[in-house]
Chains A and B, each alone.
Chain A
Amino acid sequence: MGVTQPDVPGFNLATMTDAMLVRRVLDGDTAAFTTLVDRHAAACTRFATRMLGNREDAEDATQETFLRAYRSIARYEERQTFRTWLFQILINRCRTAAVRRQRRHRMFLVDDTAIAAASVRPAVDAGDLRAELKRAIDALDPDQREAFLLKHVEQLSYDEMAAATGVGVSALKMRVKRACDRMQWMLREGEASDVGT
């Protein structure tokens, strides 16, 4: 006689940990992946938007990230959080998108007038701190911007950042510090120029 399975009630996906949801996905439960999307999509979209500077590229990178995560979810190992693993994929998608965009710009912005027009600082209202902040974050080197956002916006630990980026902890600390220094300088400069106008 076969073993009788216990009478198991339906699971409340909302209360499951990410590791349990991953397990459910591997057992064929697509709804469990929907729960993972709903938990992490906002943070991923935010990071990609701040990283890439526009919504369309950010949505493409995030979409690709989730599809890759779904296809490769069997590779997820519980020794790191699902979020860190997901960010590992997202960071690479953002890096790729940034490189593609650079190539596009090199192809199309070839005349001096266009370059000059593109480099003109956008008109910023004195009170528009969000625009100032966006200008400052966009002006950071990509590796500094990435480290700053992971640390101070997504609030990953340095160990999680190291796992997600493949960069050593001390190098990441240096990048975050330089990003902070540069942001502070940029915001101070912005104030000075606003006063001067």
Chain B
Amino acid sequence: MSEPDDPRWLDDVAGELRREVPVRPAWRARLLDDVARAPKPSVRDIADDVFGDDEPALDRGRRRWSITVAPLTGLAAASLLVALGAGVMYVAMSSRAGADESQRAAHDGPSAASPQLVSRTPTATDREVVRFELSAPRASHVALVGSFNEWNPVATPLSRDPASGKWVVSLRLPPGRHVYAFVVDGDVTADPSAPRAADDDFGSPNSVVLVASPRT
């Protein structure tokens, strides 16, 4: 290790501290045993104790908050809640309509790169048709997963285009940045023709498609 006055000392210190602390097999087995005995989680489970009620107060200011409404403003607050509720219902219905549309994949002619913006025509839901394609001649099943389908590997299968031999699917996506990947015969793989996501999670790297707002 270099001397404390050497500018490299921090790299050396960090390198030493990064040494792996091996996971003991007995500890792992005990943990997995506890997990197996725990109730299976589901999207309906929203437990409140994730960070623990017995945690110390240190640095917790940002996590929990509350709103106090004075009694005299109750009527006004109720009116506001009714208005907000109507707005939320409208957004939810629009979103549902868009999701239904996104599942109706349109299969157009072959394209040079994936993903490709097929249509710039504004729709009722302000979504754009984006065509994804992958050349995987030996694959027997290809699916698309991403932030737009909650990474569900059965939600968006690709079809083989008889003309080009490529696997294709087109989706209507809202404007913005979407992270995605292909699942080729069970293996997750990034799109070779698209930019990689900078914030790669563990596992295979993801790709990114940017969908611009429709022209008005």
- The interface of chain A, by Cβ under 8 A from chain B, is 5-12, 14-23, 25-26, 28, 30, 33-34, 37-42, 45-46, 49-50, 55, 58-59, 63, 66-75, 78, 81-83, 88-89, 92-93, 95-96, 98-99, 129-130, 133, 137, 143, 149, 152-153, 165-167, 180, 183-185, 187-188, 191
- The interface of chain B, by Cβ under 8 A from chain A, is 1, 3-5, 9-10, 13-14, 16-24, 27-28, 30-32, 34-36, 38-47, 49-52, 54-56, 58-63, 140-141, 143, 145, 147, 150-154, 157, 181, 183, 185-189, 199, 201-204, 206
For the complex, give the distance between the alpha carbons of A34 and B185 in Å. Answer: 21
Contact B35 A67 (CB under 8 A): yes
- With a cutoff of 8 Å between Cβ atoms, the chain B residues found around residue A143 in the complex are 58-59
Contact B27 A82 (CB under 8 A): no
CB distance from B79 to the nearest CB of A (A): 31
Partner of A12, one of B13, B27, B151, B186: B186
For the complex, give the distance between the alpha carbons of A69 and B47 in Å. Answer: 10
- With a cutoff of 8 Å between Cβ atoms, the chain A residues found around residue B24 in the complex are 59
Contact A66 B61 (CB under 8 A): no
Q: B interface, by DSSP: helix, strand, loop or mixed?
A: loop
Contact A15 B204 (CB under 8 A): yes
For the complex, give the distance between the alpha carbons of A191 and B9 in Å. Answer: 13
For the complex, give the distance between the alpha carbons of A42 and B61 in Å. Answer: 29
For the complex, give the distance between the alpha carbons of A11 and B141 in Å. Answer: 11
Contact B56 A95 (CB under 8 A): yes
Give A96's nearest chain B residue, CB to CB.
B55
Contact B141 A133 (CB under 8 A): no
Do A92 and B55 form a contact, CB below 8 Å, given A6-B141, A69-B50, A74-B42? Answer: yes
Contact B58 A63 (CB under 8 A): no
CB distance from A29 to the nearest CB of B (A): 9
Contact A28 B201 (CB under 8 A): no
Known: A92-B51, A191-B3. 17 other contacts (CB 8 A): A15-B187, A15-B188, A18-B203, A19-B147, A37-B32, A41-B28, A50-B17, A58-B21, A71-B50, A72-B46, A74-B41, A96-B52, A130-B16, A152-B13, A153-B14, A153-B18, A167-B59
Contact A75 B46 (CB under 8 A): yes
Contact A16 B47 (CB under 8 A): no
Contact B34 A63 (CB under 8 A): yes
Contact A17 B181 (CB under 8 A): yes
Contact B20 A15 (CB under 8 A): no
